[in-house]
Chains A and B, each alone.
Chain A
Amino acid sequence: MAESVGVGHEHADHGHHDHHEQSFFHKYLWSTDHKMIAMQYLFTGMAMAVIGGFFAYAFRMQLAFPGMEVPLWGIVTPAEYNSLVTNHGAIMIFWVAMPVLIAAFGNYLIPLMVGCDDMVFPKINRLSYQIFLISAIVLLASMVVENGGFGGAWTAYPPLSAKHEYSLTPLGSSLWIVAVALEFVAFLLGGINFVTTAMNSRAPGMKLYDIPMVIWMIVIASVLFMASVGPLIAGAIMLFMDMNLGTHFYDPNAGGDPILWQHLFWFFGHPEVYVVLLPAIGITAEIMCTFARKKLFAYKTVLYTTFATGVLSFTVWAHHQFVAGIDPRMAHVFTITTLLISIPIAEMMFVFIATLYGGDIHFKTPMLWALAFIAEFLIGGVTGIFLGASGADIYFHDTYFVLAHFHYTFFPIAIIGTFAGLTYWFPKMFGRMMNDTLGKIHFWGTIIPFNCIFIPLFVLGAAGQHRRIFDFTHYPELAQYQDVRVFATMALIVMLLFQLVFFYNFIMSIRKGKEAGPNPWKANTLEWTTSQTPPGHGNWEELPTVYRGPYEYNAPGRDKDYWPQNEPA
């Protein structure tokens, strides 16, 4: 299957490149180098995370102290509340989780871990970031235009989203949907690069089962995205037209159907959560193997299970619509498929536990994040089972139980997964070590408050507290829980403050961290073997050849407890 050029003449041939110092513009803004584009996605995603987190702070303050002026925001009006909640969700999923987990880590790691010099289409790569950046700017613009930002929830159901007399944000709504559509285009372009590079540009000797799990995961995630976003792109065009061109695709008064939007949205929306989950699982797998000094338990099983999960993820979507008025017989079908899909993911968690068993575990900061990912995601997954049963969902739908469930899945994915990957690959990206003590302080300062925010929300949800309500003190049966809401909000503020520890560590370590050397974690995968650290243009003087799988730790008969993929036998 490896039909590739011989080792001898695969240098990154720079003879006719003029490698004088590039201008600031070419090096940072107009670069086609996958590592620079990865950094662009990473920093944009992190900036958007700050904004999304700030929105959460603002609306939680409103919930905890209704009607009071929120420091750094002001009074939160009902319309602003809706817009904060809507854009918190949209930002965290589309402008934080996806760019960081897929675009940043994908761009950075794919060429480095498969052993080539760049992505196969560097200019399309650059274009995809530029479109992404424009989408972020359009989204932010949508919140400052006249009448404010779109407040119809990230799910944007019509007729609220389609009719300006309901949404009250004609310009904000239109810009919002345009921003989302642009983001989709950016990721379609990026996805083609990721999949084609991983399929075709592998180092000689790297067979399919020698590919590191995180690369498989990012590639499968890209494929899931490309296969699921199409109907929603069509739907988004139709929604934009309903908003602005007088069409009635979703208007039941005039030949349309609002439930069509729901199906188009969730047909994408459900695979989308696996699109962001898989890279986080992949990052966890890499870290677990490196810090347990042990091979991934059942690589092929994990791989096939992931394929199965990917396919199954297309069959569960209407569990988001159980109480929307869908055919109840379809609800039976979707309940069964939803409960089935918990099996492969649970099995992957067991694989991780089996990987740890008997390992030589080193509790460095990345490993703490990886372990926390599993523990927290398990809670998210288990609570999903309650929601996947259509009967139980009649009660739970639209309560805080759902909200707590998806934060116990999304937070491990987007936040824990990101910190895991960043603390792990930081030495390769910047050539220096992060401070491990500060890393651990940041870790506990994030995880403990996180649970303090969301466990109470499960309880509130089970008690019947509904979502998307601006002030619970209006509801006598729910007003009694106001102390719980205040507690959750205080926990959020503590968690947000601890993020300052991370930023301090990140910035100080880039400038003054201990020199890392090429392979501080003594890992096996190819990115740790680059000629320079951080890797230079073309990544290697001479592109590597691969002789074994990525997880040969503690291989019998070797004196070292690791065995890099590119070391000849």
Chain B
Amino acid sequence: MSDHAEAHHDDSHYWKVYFILLALLVVSIIGPLLEIRAVTLITAFGVALVKAFLVAKNFMHLNVEKQYVVYLMATMLVFMLLFFAGAAPDVMKWEGDNWVKPFVAQESHVEHH
């Protein structure tokens, strides 16, 4: 466990990161209120990425963990992107050059109570 000694920070370090996270949360909430789609997407997901990165780096101590652990996590994320890239052309699209998914083309909400 002593290889982790360099992870000993003052508690204050974690409080600092926490307040940055809170500020980012506020940004992500204000963004959509401007009602500009691009801004909403950037604040919502951009902030999410930054927050996740901060939590992973500082709270999970990936900044001092053995490198291969970081590569392992990154590889899993890459696989998820790969899955998305392979499946999205079929699942995400509801029309193409010569075809259409008829049920999706109309409004498709069904209410069962």
Q: Is the CB of B103 within 8 A of A260?
A: no
**Contacting residues, chain A, for B112 (C-beta < 8 A):** 246
| Segment from A11-19, A67-75, A112-120, A323-331 that makes contact with B | A323-331
Query: What per-residue 1/0 map shows which CB atoms of A377-416 lie under 8 Å from chain B?
Result: 0000000000000000000000000000000000000000
Q: How far is it, in angstroms, between the C-alpha of A326 and the C-alpha of B90 when the chains are bound? A: 6
Q: Is the CB of A227 within 8 A of B109?
A: no
- Among B83, B103, B110, point to the contact of A263 (Cβ < 8 A): B83
| Segment from B22-30, B31-39, B55-63, B74-82 that makes contact with A | B74-82
Question: Which of chain B's residues has its CB closest to A326's CB?
Answer: B90
CB of A57 within 8 Å of the partner chain: no
Instruction: State the B residues within 8 Å of A (CB).
Output: 75-76, 79, 82-83, 86-87, 89-91, 93, 96, 101, 103-104, 108-110, 112
| Segment from A88-96, A126-134, A248-256, A288-296 that makes contact with B | A248-256
- Number of inter-chain CB pairs below 8 Å: 56
Number of A positions contacting B (CB below 8 A)? 25
- Among A231, A248, A267, A325, point to the contact of B90 (Cβ < 8 A): A325
Query: What per-residue 1/0 map shows which CB atoms of A254-268 lie under 8 Å from chain B?
Result: 110101100110010
- Among B75, B76, B90, B104, point to the contact of A330 (Cβ < 8 A): B90
Q: Is the CB of B89 within 8 A of A329?
A: yes
- Among B87, B93, B108, point to the contact of A267 (Cβ < 8 A): B87
Say how far A191's CB is from chain B's closest CB, in angstroms. 13
Say how far B26's CB is from chain A's closest CB, in angstroms. 32
Q: Is the CB of B104 within 8 A of A263?
A: no
Q: Is the CB of B108 within 8 A of A253?
A: yes
Q: How far is it, in angstroms, between the C-alpha of A267 and the C-alpha of B101 when the chains are bound? A: 23
| Segment from A30-38, A312-320, A524-532 that makes contact with B | A312-320
Question: Which of chain B's residues has its CB closest to A333's CB?
Answer: B86
Q: How far is it, in angstroms, between the C-alpha of A327 and the C-alpha of B85 when the chains are bound? A: 12
**Contacting residues, chain B, for A334 (C-beta < 8 A):** 86
Q: Is the CB of A252 within 8 A of B101?
A: yes
Q: Is the CB of A227 within 8 A of B90?
A: no
28 example contacts (A-B, Cβ-Cβ < 8 A) are as follows A227-B75, A248-B110, A252-B101, A253-B103, A253-B110, A254-B103, A254-B108, A255-B104, A255-B108, A255-B110, A257-B91, A257-B101, A260-B87, A260-B91, A263-B83, A263-B86, A264-B87, A267-B86, A267-B87, A314-B79, A315-B86, A325-B90, A326-B90, A327-B89, A327-B93, A329-B89, A330-B89, A334-B86
**Contacting residues, chain B, for A259 (C-beta < 8 A):** 87, 90-91
**Contacting residues, chain B, for A317 (C-beta < 8 A):** 86
Given A227-B76, A231-B83, A252-B101, do A263 and B108 touch, yes or no (CB 8 Å)?
Answer: no
**Contacting residues, chain B, for A227 (C-beta < 8 A):** 75-76, 79
Chain A 154-178 residues near chain B, CB threshold 8 A: none
- Among A252, A260, A315, point to the contact of B104 (Cβ < 8 A): A252
Q: Which applies to chain B's interface (DSSP): helix, strand, loop or mixed?
A: helix
| Given pairs A227-B79, A255-B109, A260-B87, 20 additional interface contacts (CB within 8 A) | A227-B75, A248-B110, A252-B103, A254-B103, A254-B108, A255-B108, A259-B90, A260-B91, A263-B87, A263-B90, A263-B91, A314-B79, A317-B86, A318-B86, A326-B89, A327-B90, A327-B93, A329-B89, A330-B89, A334-B86
Question: Which of chain B's residues has its CB closest to A226's CB?
Answer: B76
Q: Is the CB of B110 within 8 A of A254?
A: yes
Q: Is the CB of A314 within 8 A of B96?
A: no
Say how far B64's CB is from chain A's closest CB, in angstroms. 16
**Contacting residues, chain A, for B91 (C-beta < 8 A):** 257, 259-260, 263
**Contacting residues, chain A, for B93 (C-beta < 8 A):** 327
**Contacting residues, chain B, for A252 (C-beta < 8 A):** 101, 103-104
**Contacting residues, chain A, for B86 (C-beta < 8 A):** 263, 267, 315, 317-318, 330, 334
Query: What per-residue 1/0 map shows which CB atoms of A263-276 lie under 8 Å from chain B?
Result: 11001000000000
Q: How far is it, in angstroms, between the C-alpha of A231 and the C-alpha of B91 when the chains are bound? A: 15
Q: How far is it, in angstroms, between the C-alpha of A318 and the C-alpha of B86 when the chains are bound? A: 8
Q: How far is it, in angstroms, between the C-alpha of A334 and the C-alpha of B83 when the chains are bound? A: 13
**Contacting residues, chain B, for A325 (C-beta < 8 A):** 90
**Contacting residues, chain A, for B104 (C-beta < 8 A):** 252, 255
Question: Which of chain B's residues has its CB closest to A254's CB?
Answer: B110
Say how far B90's CB is from chain A's closest CB, in angstroms. 5
Question: Which of chain B's residues has its CB closest to A321's CB?
Answer: B90
Say how far B30's CB is from chain A's closest CB, in angstroms. 31
Q: How far is it, in angstroms, between the C-alpha of A227 and the C-alpha of B109 when the chains are bound? A: 34
**Contacting residues, chain B, for A327 (C-beta < 8 A):** 89-90, 93, 96
Q: Is the CB of A314 within 8 A of B87?
A: no
Q: Is the CB of A314 within 8 A of B82?
A: yes
Chain A 328-363 residues near chain B, CB threshold 8 A: 329-330, 334
Which of A231, A259, A315, A327 has its CB near the most chain B CB atoms (within 10 A)? A327
Q: How far is it, in angstroms, between the C-alpha of A318 and the C-alpha of B93 when the chains are bound? A: 17
Q: How far is it, in angstroms, between the C-alpha of A306 and the C-alpha of B112 when the chains are bound? A: 50
**Contacting residues, chain A, for B101 (C-beta < 8 A):** 252, 257
Q: How far is it, in angstroms, between the C-alpha of A326 and the C-alpha of B79 when the chains are bound? A: 20
Question: Which of chain A's residues has its CB closest to B87's CB?
Answer: A263
Q: How far is it, in angstroms, between the C-alpha of A126 and the C-alpha of B89 when the chains are bound? A: 43
Q: How far is it, in angstroms, between the C-alpha of A288 and the C-alpha of B110 when the chains are bound? A: 61
Which of B75, B83, B90, B103 has its CB near the most chain A CB atoms (within 10 A)? B90
**Contacting residues, chain B, for A329 (C-beta < 8 A):** 89
